[in-house]
Structure 1
């Protein structure tokens, strides 16, 4: 979990636009975690 928080913080610094990505709300109501996951998947699959 700490790794996720560090990753989100890093993404916030490197790509502020990520905060504006519309995301589905997870059952834990963590849309920024979803945005971070989407960003990681894009990096791997681009």
Structure 2
């Protein structure tokens, strides 16, 4: 599952839209780094 999350989080980076995954406003990558996102998420830890 973590591999899938990493793939999803880094798509905007690979596409050249942002330099870091957490800079993509709609990404849950922000939540995993302790930054508030636009919606609350339940974090996956396994």
After TM superposition, the score normalised by the length of structure 2 is: 0.32
After TM superposition, the score normalised by the length of structure 1 is: 0.32
Higher helix fraction (1 or 2): 1
